[in-house]
A and B are shown apart, each in its own frame.
Chain A
Amino acid sequence: MKMNKKHEVTMEERYDSWPVKAYTYSMIIWGIASLLYGILISLQLVYPEWNFGEWFSYGRLRPIHTNGGAFGFGLSGIFALSYYMVPRLTKSPLFLPGIAKLNFWIYNFTIAAAVITLHLGFSTTKEYAELEWPIDLLVVIVWVLWALNMVGTILTKKVDKMYVSLWYIIATVLGVAVLYIFNNLAVPASLFKSYSLYAGVNDANVQWWYGHNAVAFVFTTPILAIFFYFFPKVTNLPLYSHRLSIVAFWSLVFMYLWTGAHHLIWTPVPDWIQTVAIAFSLMLIAPSWGSVINGYMTMGNNWEQMKTNYLAKFFIMGITFYGLQTLQGPSQAIRSISSLIHYTDWVPGHVHMGTMGWFAMTIMASFYYVIPKIYKTELYSVKLANTHFWLVFTGQIIYSISMWIAGIMQGAMWKATNPDGSLKYTFQDSITASYPYWDLRALGGVIFLAGALVFAYNIFKTIQKGSNASAKTEGAV
């Protein structure tokens, strides 16, 4: 990673920063939108009068929140950071810069179309794959355009060895392509209506093979690529072990694909599929913690950076939430635990530790590093970045803990029986008891949104500062 300073400057100029800059805006816009949808639907669960007619009813809005968060906010961030990382890691300019622009516009058109069609009720209902077939086709185009640039740039690399971040980018390109295509195969009945190629048990099995591996190849592999690139950069420390990162890579990409059916414990899916999924889920702890340990050991004797370097704090908390997430997830796969917490609010509590804690924290922290670099300036305010950290951290903790408590309560109330063997509570009892926790969850969401707004303000101010400075230099020339 060491290189001559002068050389770095000339290389920097060869890297196209347009896609990075453009995706920064789309990430912020879709991110804020997704959070607003999230807060609205969290309130709808307690105050049903907040369902404003059919276009704004909970059942149609929830997929907008999930798709907006994963594919609007998340993919924008992943695209921006991969367009930043890959040319630098390969020391090769972007393979097709024009295609990167096209990629950006088609991508944003696709996300906008997704939001509109979901409002209109065009939904396949398959979770995280709700988009109807014409939009699926657009998604495929977006993916191919991104893949062309990623793979093309990697194939034309000017370095001898590929750093592990590039491995994870390759896995992301391939994994999402395979999963998305096979889960979305359907026969159209009209322009916005299609029927899944698969039925019943097989459809469920394919869907959760996809669903859980969307977690692998959208929420994990690209974020590990980002983590392993930016974490050593921001701490100025070499990665603890390249070998460990490679071993973790292979075991992660091998094991993840076997685990989908842990979403289908106690369903009519055959027991052997469930058992295989449970076993592989437990084994996944090893490669997941391989990355966590690699992160911790990289800090070595430099843990004082948690105090002195705000970015070390973001990344260490991010990888810590990843570690907690990958212990909690496998435990949920176990049959007895699943029977208590599955279908309850425990699960959104779990998901949001990953999305708010690991995914969003790591992506946002990377922008604090990238934006000043490409605008050749300093971050507008480290103090605001710290404020952002504590707001999103608090918001997420409130969210997850209130949902874990509510989830266990719901599971226990559903199971509770009277001495005579009859059920103790009606289903509605479990919902009524959840309302205070759902209020608390909405509060957590609002605090998280406040943190995200502080982030957006800080980024905009930094961009402004950098643009003003470069305008002045140009004026002087």
Chain B
Amino acid sequence: MSDQQVNTLERKPVILIIVTLVVILIGSVVTALLPFFMEGMEVKIDTVRPYTALELEGRDLYMREGCNNCHTQTVRPLRDEVLRYGEFSKSGEFAYDHPFLWGSKRTGPDLARIGGKYPDSWHVQHMVDPRSIVPQSNMPSYAFMADRPLDGSTIQSKMEALRTVGVPYTDEEIAAAPATLTGKTEMDAIIAYLQVLGTMINKAPVETVTDSTAVADSTAAPADSAAVTPAEAR
């Protein structure tokens, strides 16, 4: 930059404002805006579906209580993480997550593959009194959710708002939603959400193994082949 150019910027605030804005926008456009239009950003997974009304309410409770402040929802493609939590996370799994809930700090374990790992009764007990299951746990008790009726009064406007941002809820699903929430507690909802987390990629039809060679091949398959099972109770 020549001295003259610097002088212009030093003297003319309007020019300084415009140039600064352009400079700020360059990196923003390339790293934050362009990816929306790039194919590799989100790889579609056919078995990933929108959350049911109950799971959605559970997810909103997860957000209300700020669970994301202690629990992440991304298994990194690292050996120990795959051993501890299960298969590493795929971009397509989060297609209907408005917002994403990956978190940034693990004061508790990652929950991306928590679904189906424990029975509902385990979760109820753990949410009501975490230390009755893990004696040295520091998780707050969520006993107040156990008997509190779920407020499903806004479920239809929630689903409609989500449809506006791209979640393909049908009119029938939205019409039927309130009925599926009657008589449910907040605990029912959050457990429904926890139990679906990370399970949608496992619904793909399993290829039938026909002979011994195929077995040998499948054991040598890369780690992302859904062959890795979560280490229990970790």
Within the complex, what minimum Cβ distance (angstroms) separates B186 from chain A?
Answer: 10
Give chain B interface residues in 11-59, CB to chain A under 8 Å.
Answer: 11, 13-14, 16-17, 20-21, 23-28, 30-32, 35-36, 38, 40-42
B141 touches A51 (CB 8 A): yes
B11 touches A162 (CB 8 A): yes
At the interface, yes or no: A427 with Cβ under 8 Å from chain B? yes
Give chain A interface residues in 258-293, CB to chain B under 8 Å.
Answer: 258, 260-261, 263-264, 266-270, 273, 276-277, 280
**At the interface, is chain A mostly helix, strand, loop or mixed?**
helix
Our pick among B27, B40, B104, B154 for the contact of A347 (Cβ within 8 Å) is: B104
A254 and B27 in contact, given A48-B131, A202-B36, A414-B80 (Cβ under 8 angstroms): yes
Interface size class of chain A, counting residues whose CB lies under 8 Å from the partner chain: 35 or more
At the interface, yes or no: A60 with Cβ under 8 Å from chain B? yes
Q: Tell me, in angstroms, the Cα distance from A46 to B10 when the chains sit together.
A: 53
B90 touches A268 (CB 8 A): yes
Query: Closest A-chain residue to B39, C-beta based?
Result: A270
Query: Closest B-chain residue to A155, C-beta based?
Result: B13
A199 touches B94 (CB 8 A): yes
Residues on A with beta carbons closer than 8 Å to the beta carbon of B91? 200-201, 268-270
Q: Tell me, in angstroms, the Cα distance from A270 to B39 when the chains sit together.
A: 10
B138 touches A343 (CB 8 A): no
A48 touches B140 (CB 8 A): yes
Q: Tell me, in angstroms, the Cα distance from A160 to B36 when the chains sit together.
A: 43
Interface residues of B, count at CB 8 A:
88
A209 and B32 in contact, given A51-B140, A202-B42 (Cβ under 8 angstroms): yes
A181-216 near B? 1/0 per residue, CB < 8 Å: 010000111100111111111111111010000000
A59 and B141 in contact, given A187-B164, A200-B97, A203-B97 (Cβ under 8 angstroms): no
B84 touches A58 (CB 8 A): no
Within the complex, what minimum Cβ distance (angstroms) separates B194 from chain A?
Answer: 15
B142-161 near A? 1/0 per residue, CB < 8 Å: 00100000000010011011
Q: Tell me, in angstroms, the Cα distance from A369 to B108 when the chains sit together.
A: 44
B27 touches A258 (CB 8 A): yes
At the interface, yes or no: B179 with Cβ under 8 Å from chain A? no
In the assembled complex, 20 residue pairs joining A and B whose CB atoms fall closer than 8 Å, in A order, are A44-B138, A44-B140, A45-B138, A48-B139, A54-B144, A59-B65, A59-B70, A125-B68, A162-B11, A167-B20, A200-B94, A201-B42, A204-B100, A205-B31, A254-B27, A257-B27, A414-B81, A417-B79, A427-B109, A431-B137
Chain B residues within CB distance 8 Å of chain A: 1, 6-7, 10-11, 13-14, 16-17, 20-21, 23-28, 30-32, 35-36, 38, 40-42, 60, 63-70, 72, 74, 76-81, 83-84, 89-91, 93-109, 130-131, 134, 136-141, 144, 154, 157-158, 160-162, 164-167, 231, 233-234
Sample of 4 more A-B contacts, CB < 8 Å, known A46-B138, A59-B66, A63-B69: A47-B138, A125-B99, A258-B31, A428-B137
Chain A residues within CB distance 8 Å of chain B: 44-48, 51, 53-54, 57-60, 62-63, 121-127, 151, 154-155, 157, 160-162, 166-167, 170-171, 174-175, 178, 182, 187-190, 193-207, 209, 243, 246, 250, 253-258, 260-261, 263-264, 266-270, 273, 276-277, 280, 339, 343-344, 347-348, 410, 414-417, 422-423, 426-428, 431-432
